[in-house]
């Protein structure tokens, strides 16, 4: 069975990606399965640069096909913030709760029409030819006035899908794994992987 490495130490993200790719005959590892791989400084100007940087670093140390994603929440009225800083919006070691609270504080009492947002995911795949393949997915919604729901992680309790009027955290992981920005990018990636491994 072919091994693929997810270039992340985020256990929540690993669980989500494994679930979405569960129907492909590959063994999915993560950086949690390896020792002595340095932390990547995510100093890219955008999600794409960060994803490529993480994928190349992980390939250098594992010599296996690597999937790296960088995802971000872009709030229109905040000029696209938190964007590339999504995971560290409230500081380098900020919790999900602290990031969410900073976002709510910045939005204040702005009305719903000024709280439009987009989740964006960029996935980079690096394998033996070392030329990154890029897959992207987005989903549009808006930011609620308070956290709702107990599922998911990150900004999921704040991000509302208009067609359901519920947050990702209220809709649950199975639902999110069909409709999220990461799911859309991974669906494109899945087609590539099936061709690559001859399924």
Length of the chain: 199
Residue 106: left (phi > 0), alpha (psi -120 to 50), or beta?
alpha
3-class SS letters over 75-131: EHHHCCCEHHHHHHCCCCCCCHHHHHHHHHHHHCCCCHHHCEEEEEEEEEEECCCCC
Pair type for strands 65-75 and 26-30: unpaired
Instruction: Give the residue carrying structure tokens 């309790």.
Output: 157
Catalytic residues, which ones? 70
Beta strands in the chain (DSSP E): 2-6, 26-30, 65-75, 116-126, 133-143, 159-161, 166-167
């Amino acid at each position: 069975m072919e091994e693929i490495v997810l270039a992340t130490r985020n256990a929540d993200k690993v669980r989500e990606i494994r679930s979405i790719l569960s129907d492909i005959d590959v063994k999915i590892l993560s950086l949690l399965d390896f020792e002595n791989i340095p932390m990547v400084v995510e100093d890219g100007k955008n999600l794409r640069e960060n994803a490529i940087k993480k994928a190349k670093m992980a390939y250098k140390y594992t010599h296996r096909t690597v999937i790296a994603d960088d995802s971000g929440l872009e709030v229109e009225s905040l000029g696209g913030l938190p964007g590339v800083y999504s995971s560290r919006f409230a500081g380098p070691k900020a919790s999900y709760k602290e990031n969410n609270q900073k976002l709510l504080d910045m939005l204040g009492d702005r009305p719903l029409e000024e709280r439009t947002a987009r989740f964006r995911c960029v996935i980079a795949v690096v394998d033996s030819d070392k030329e990154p393949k890029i897959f992207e997915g987005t989903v549009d919604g808006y930011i609620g006035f308070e956290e709702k729901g107990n599922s998911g992680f990150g900004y999921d309790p704040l991000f509302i899908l208009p067609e359901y009027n519920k947050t990702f955290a209220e809709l649950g992981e199975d639902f999110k794994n069909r409709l999220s920005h990461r799911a859309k990018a991974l669906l494109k990636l899945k087609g590539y992987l099936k061709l690559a491994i001859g399924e």
